[in-house]
Amino acid sequence: MENHNTHFDDRFIEEVKNANDIVEIISKYVDLKRAGDSYKGLCPFHNEKTPSFMVSENKQIFKCFGCGEGGNVITFLMKKENISFFEAIKLLCENARIELPVNNISSEENLKNYEKKQRMYDLHIELARYYFDNMQKNIENSMDYLKNRGIDEKTVRKFGLGYEVRKSSAIEYLYNHGYTKQELLDSMIFRQKNDELYSIFFSRVMYPIFDYRNRVVAFGGRITGSGEPKYLNSPESIIFKKKEQLYGLNLVRKYNAKRIILVEGYMDVIRLNQKGIVGAVASLGTSLTKEQSEIIKKQNKKVYICYDSDKAGRVATVRAIDILQSVGVKPYIISLEGYKDPDEFFNKNKTSDFMVKIENAISPLSFLIDNIKSEYNINIYSQKLEFIDKASELIKSSNDAIEMEYQTKRLAEITNMSVKSIGVKVYGQYFSPKQFQLNQKSDEKIVKKVFPHIENSDTQTNEKKLIDIISKKPDCIRYIMDILNMDDITDDSFREHYSKFLGSNGADLEPKNEEYKILRKLALFTKIDILQKKLKKLEQSQNMDVEEISFMMEEKIKIIKLISNLKEDIKGLI
Ligand SMILES: [Zn+2]
């Protein structure tokens, strides 16, 4: 086989590997779970039921302890996609938006560029170290500010916060570490005036800005005294593209956060992390960009927006909803009403209070309707009508049946109108609130007609009805096996009946007859009953810590989703 390796310079290959995260690439093929410092999953190269396939984020390699396969991100793609080295490099270049060298040979310019970037990363690390030491030396000046913002010593270390005193002090330091004047200028942190260099940062608390791979690519500075601007960020450089950068993303990945919480600034990110809430990210001095939204999407996590609750924050939220939805992410909106921002919220509240806010996050449509409502005084009749018109238009534009039903009921509640009149606005003049009902009662007649031997069906639970029918017509079990699991059933004799039929196939079923419909509906209702009991139990649990609360919420969300899916199934049978 031809050795494609020779076409590329080693350093170019190194750059391609650097620009692609192996965890992100393999996650497209394997469901990876965090395991200590590494990730674990079912091996894609051999058949296994317990995971022995490991991916190391630090080392950027994979290894299967079952079949022995192993390698880097390039060899993974070659094996998995059955493609050549060249094709794998091409895929990875596309993924990381790197230009493929002309004629597959690294040009002199490409090489220089790569070296320049590496030097720039090193310069930033050196500078971060310098600022950090400065902070420790000037702790009384800077710590005052930090204490006022509720930032503790531990957080200073975790985020590598530093301090810069004078316009010129860092220059000597960088020269002593071998960096040239041109390199200082290229960092965009230093400027030249009358042949003298000076730093754009001084008298500022310095926040290193990390990229998702944990490299320092820029700095943010917050002035400690009075002066403008309050916040200042590094200008863009060869390693810092603002619109592709999300502050805090490195920590989302490090802690494998369950969710991403979009906040306005880096102080919010720091505050949330200090409170033990992982997943916060902020765009830097710009509103959310399409590039950032795509990066958020790649993380494959539930997304929340938690911007400031003032007018500007609401406008930014509307824009963020728009841009996230345009790349296919449905965000939920956390409302901190009564508090300006997360910072102010935590002055008066605990971590668990914020978890409750997450739990109560609303859908984009709910937020947009509330946002419109804030422009009207709905106690005045004419304004109320205008609000209803605008909100109904919004609801109509949704293409999610459940969301539409929910919002119709919600709007009726907000405006103190009947579901009927709001429904007509949304669904048209033939709307009847009965469309929203599951119509359990009206089934009773049909149940009795199809299964005349069933007793007193009005007062029985759904499970009892099922048992009744099945004890007389055991064959019917096959209609509902895919809905109810053995574990779902509480009645012992029913479970015994049930187990006899498991494993037999339902190929000779004649679906779509009345019997089939009724049994499936009963089974679905039974399942909903069971899930609702579970939900109640979860809600009643007390004295939980943060971990447990977040686990409980994940469970709740899962169950609520399941229930709404089942309700959809029931509608399909009506
Ligand atoms: Zn394997």
How many A from CA of 240 to the centre of ligand 1? 38
How many A from CA of 58 to the centre of ligand 1? 21
- How is residue 529 written in tokens? 């009953």
How many A from CA of 66 to the centre of ligand 1? 5
pLDDT at 195: 86
State the average pLDDT over residues 491-504.
Answer: 66
How many A from CA of 498 to the centre of ligand 1? 38
Structure-model confidence comparison of residues 476 and 333, the more confident one: 333
Share of the chain above pLDDT 90, in %: 39
Q: Where does the pLDDT of residue 507 fall: very low under 50, low under 70, confident under 90, or very high at 90 and above?
A: very low
How many A from CA of 28 to the centre of ligand 1? 17
Position 30 pLDDT exceeds 80? yes
Render pLDDT for 264-296 as a digit per residue (tens, 0 to 9). 988 899 999 999 999 999 988 778 999 999 999
How many A from CA of 90 to the centre of ligand 1? 25
Q: What share of the chain is helix, strand, coil (3-state, %, to 5)?
A: 55, 10, 35
pLDDT at 563: 81
| The two domains 4-104 and 107-240 share their CATH topology (first three levels equal) | no
Cβ(224)–Cβ(145) below 8 Å: yes
Q: Where does the pLDDT of residue 438 fall: very low under 50, low under 70, confident under 90, or very high at 90 and above?
A: low
How many A from CA of 46 to the centre of ligand 1? 5
Geometric angle at alpha carbon 438, from 433 and 443, rounded to 5°: 120
How many A from CA of 51 to the centre of ligand 1? 9
pLDDT at 1: 40
How many A from CA of 72 to the centre of ligand 1? 15
State the average pLDDT over residues 311-325.
Answer: 94
Position 145 pLDDT exceeds 90? no
How many A from CA of 79 to the centre of ligand 1? 12
pLDDT at 2: 41
Position 554 pLDDT exceeds 80? no
Cβ(454)–Cβ(444) below 8 Å: no
pLDDT at 65: 86
Least confident range from 60-64, 95-99, 110-114, 156-160: namely: 110-114
How many A from CA of 299 to the centre of ligand 1? 25
How many A from CA of 36 to the centre of ligand 1? 20
Share of the chain above pLDDT 70, in %: 85
pLDDT at 460: 67
How many A from CA of 243 to the centre of ligand 1? 39
Least confident range from 31-40, 242-251, 298-307, 539-548: namely: 539-548
Render pLDDT for 169-199 as a digit per residue (tens, 0 to 9). 899 999 999 999 999 999 999 999 988 999 9
How many A from CA of 41 to the centre of ligand 1? 10
Identify residues whose C-beta is under 5 A from ligand 1, the ion. Answer: 43, 45-46, 64, 66-67
Position 510 pLDDT exceeds 60? no
Q: Which range has highest mean pLDDT (26-35, 454-463, 565-574)?
A: 26-35
Mean pLDDT score across all residues of the chain: 84
195: left (phi over 0), alpha (psi -120 to 50) or beta: left
How many A from CA of 43 to the centre of ligand 1? 5
285: left (phi over 0), alpha (psi -120 to 50) or beta: left
pLDDT at 118: 87
How many A from CA of 54 to the centre of ligand 1? 9
How many A from CA of 25 to the centre of ligand 1? 17
How many A from CA of 31 to the centre of ligand 1? 14
CA distances from 361 to 292, 356, 365, 419, 557 (A): 22, 9, 12, 24, 12
| CATH for the 107-240 domain, from 3.90.980.10, 3.40.50.360, 3.20.20.70, 3.40.50.300 | 3.90.980.10
How many A from CA of 77 to the centre of ligand 1? 15
Distance of CA 144 to the CA centre of its chain: 35
Position 572 pLDDT exceeds 80? no
pLDDT at 546: 63
How many A from CA of 159 to the centre of ligand 1? 38
Structure-model confidence comparison of residues 549 and 337, the more confident one: 337
Position 385 pLDDT exceeds 90? yes
- Provide the residue ranges of all domains of the chain, joining segments of one domain with +: 4-104, 107-240, 241-326+336-354, 364-436, 443-573
pLDDT at 544: 64
pLDDT at 6: 46
How many A from CA of 5 to the centre of ligand 1? 26
Contacts of 358 (CB under 8 A, 6+ apart): 259, 261, 304, 334, 553
**CATH topology classification for 241-326+336-354:** Dna Topoisomerase Vi A Subunit; Chain: A, domain 2 (3.40.1360)
How many A from CA of 42 to the centre of ligand 1? 8
Position 323 pLDDT exceeds 90? yes
Render pLDDT for 460-493 as a digit per residue (tens, 0 to 9). 677 777 777 777 776 777 778 778 777 777 667 6
ipTM exceeding 0.90, yes/no = yes
How many A from CA of 26 to the centre of ligand 1? 14
How many A from CA of 295 to the centre of ligand 1? 30
Report the relative pairing of strands 33-35 and 280-283 from DSSP bridges.
Answer: unpaired
Position 379 pLDDT exceeds 60? yes
Architecture of domain 4-104: Alpha-Beta Complex (3.90)
